[in-house]
Amino acid sequence: MPIDPARMLRSLCEVLNSDVWIGDGPMAKRCEALIREQIGVPHAYLTPSCTSALEMACVLAGIGHGDEVIMPSFGFSSAGNAVVLRGGVPVFVDVRPDTLNIDETLVEGAITRKTKAIIVVHYAGVMCEMPAIYGVVGPQVLIIEDAAQAYLSRYQNLAAGTWGDISAFSFHQTKNIRCGEGGALTLPEGGIGDEFATRAEVLREKGTDRAAFLRGEVQRYTWTDVGFSGVVSEFQAAVLLAQHERAKEITERRLALWDRYHHAMTNLDYWGKVRRPTVPPHCQHNGHIYRILLPTQAERDRILAALNADGVKASFHFQALHSAPAGLRYGRVSGSMAVTDSVCGRLLRMPLSHATTEEDVDRAVDRLEKALRG
């Protein structure tokens, strides 16, 4: 994967030789400027994680006691936690069987008078059907993009992070662009985006107007709102900057490996041994995850054990939120969860990371074919 250690070291040395190591420094500002440019948004803020960006999103959205937030059950716990911590209720809906994204045809049936927002998850870097979702939620329901896996993904040539009222990205160790732990919150241009931007600066600075103070807009900064520590150190920003400067190249490399998997499994899909991922023609994904579906959970578990025993680090992925202990305690279900329950037991992720090579892909597919024959 085209990550340049020398470039990272130069950025880190620049920080070490400076007087600014704390959050929201010059390195972070340069990184945020690249994010704004790459996505096409006027507001971008680095955060300690995508989780913290989602928590900030729920504060900005005004989620409070009893407010309902629609989300897919096939997702990570961070979205559910962000809602519950504000006193809200996650309302789980099923996903599409092809992309495993939220089923847009089920959203309208989940809306009640208590619905405050919807969190859409762009699974595996393939974006949700955003126009259809906008067509049913109405202006009173905010749309939050959980774009943790979708940096530089697009729908109809519009980037992830430009569709929602608020968007959250991840730069976790497992993501295409990464700094160990890290994320970003982005906001659109005009109207509610500009309004949220003013408050977002305060929220991430422990509820103070420190950002305005540093710009010379106020004589001293003080506690003005609720908030938390929502910035990242200059060291994290330095590592991240070195990758954002090569984000297009990193993404192209990831896509090439994804395509290699996809082509190599054509016959396995044809004969019904596995089901390959689906990418709609109007979506441009980022190659974040290559996942397959096995016919049954028993077969998935058998194949997973065989691959791991053979040195291939395959894994399963999300477990359904609606049937998890916290999901049962804090959320509710809208409609059937048949697809979610099915795919959670049959999904297998093939190895795909910054360190994966073409030879690794070929070996993984070879071992998969061997395990399927076994």
Q: For residue range 56-94, what is the model confidence (pLDDT) as tens digits?
A: 999 999 999 999 999 999 999 999 999 999 999 999 999
**Residues 207 and 139 grouped into a single domain:** yes
Residue 129: per-residue pLDDT: 98
Is residue 203 within 8 A of residue 61, CB to CB? The reply is no
DSSP states of 180-203 as a string?
Answer: SS-EEEEE-SSHHHHHHHHHHHHH
Answer whether residue 22 shows pLDDT above 90: no
**Residues 30 and 161 grouped into a single domain:** yes
Other CB atoms within 10 A of residue 135 CB: 12
The mean pLDDT value for 355-360 works out to 96
Is residue 73 within 8 A of residue 321, CB to CB? The reply is yes
Q: Which of 83, 9, 40, 133 is nearest to 329 (CA)?
A: 83
Computed over its alpha carbons, how large is the radius of gyration of the chain? 21
User: Chain centroid to CA 306: how far?
Assistant: 29
At 146, give phi and psi (nearest 5°): -90, 90
- Which of 183-192, 269-278, 360-369 shows the lowest per-residue confidence on average (mean pLDDT)? 183-192
**Residues 324 and 197 grouped into a single domain:** no
**Residues 119 and 51 grouped into a single domain:** yes
**Residues 295 and 236 grouped into a single domain:** no
Residue 36 sits in a domain whose CATH number is 3.40.640.10
Show which of 244, 259, 291 is a domain's final residue.
Answer: 244
Residue 288 sits in a domain whose CATH number is 3.90.1150.10
With pLDDT > 90 as the criterion, what percentage of the chain qualifies? 86
Mean pLDDT of the chain: 95
Residue 256: per-residue pLDDT: 98
Q: Which of 248, 245, 250 is nearest to 27 (CA)?
A: 245
Q: Which of 292, 273, 257 is nearest to 371 (CA)?
A: 273
**Residues 237 and 251 grouped into a single domain:** no
Show which of 217, 244, 271 is a domain's final residue.
Answer: 244
Q: In whole angstroms, what is the distance from residue 321 CA to residue 323 CA?
A: 6
How does pLDDT run across 162-200, given as a tens digit for each residue?
Answer: 999 999 999 999 999 999 899 999 999 887 899 999 999
Q: In whole angstroms, what is the distance from residue 51 CA to residue 338 CA?
A: 27
- Which of 3-12, 68-77, 199-208, 216-225 shows the lowest per-residue confidence on average (mean pLDDT)? 3-12
**Residues 238 and 254 grouped into a single domain:** no
Show which of 244, 259, 276 is a domain's final residue.
Answer: 244
Question: Phi/psi class of residue 271: alpha, beta or left (left: φ > 0; alpha: ψ in -120 to 50)?
Answer: alpha
Structure tokens at 125: 């870097």
Q: In whole angstroms, what is the distance from residue 46 CA to residue 105 CA?
A: 33
The mean pLDDT value for 329-333 works out to 98
Q: Which of 121, 115, 110, 45 is nearest to 78 (CA)?
A: 121
What 3-state DSSP class applies to 209?
coil
Tally of structural domains, the chain: 2
Residue 241: per-residue pLDDT: 94
Give the residue with greater pLDDT, 135 vs 214.
Answer: 135
Q: In whole angstroms, what is the distance from residue 256 CA to residue 287 CA?
A: 8
The mean pLDDT value for 202-212 works out to 92
The mean pLDDT value for 119-144 works out to 95
**Residues 35 and 183 grouped into a single domain:** yes
β-pairing, 183-187 vs 291-293, is: unpaired
Is residue 153 within 8 A of residue 125, CB to CB? The reply is yes
**Residues 208 and 319 grouped into a single domain:** no
Q: What pLDDT band is residue 3 in, cutting at 50, 70 and 90?
A: low
The mean pLDDT value for 271-289 works out to 97
**Residues 239 and 304 grouped into a single domain:** no
Answer whether residue 271 shows pLDDT above 60: yes
**Residues 152 and 177 grouped into a single domain:** yes
The mean pLDDT value for 108-116 works out to 97
Is residue 286 within 8 A of residue 255, CB to CB? The reply is yes
Residue 214: per-residue pLDDT: 84
The mean pLDDT value for 285-310 works out to 97
DSSP-H helix ranges across 71-223: 77-84, 107-110, 130-137, 191-204, 210-214
Q: Which residues contact 313 (CB under 8 A, 6 or more apart)?
A: 307, 351
Q: Which residues contact 171 (CB under 8 A, 6 or more apart)?
A: 50, 151, 177, 178, 179, 181, 182, 183, 184, 240
What 3-state DSSP class applies to 144?
strand
Q: What pLDDT band is residue 2 in, cutting at 50, 70 and 90?
A: low
**Residues 317 and 301 grouped into a single domain:** yes
Q: Domain limits at 145?
A: 5-244
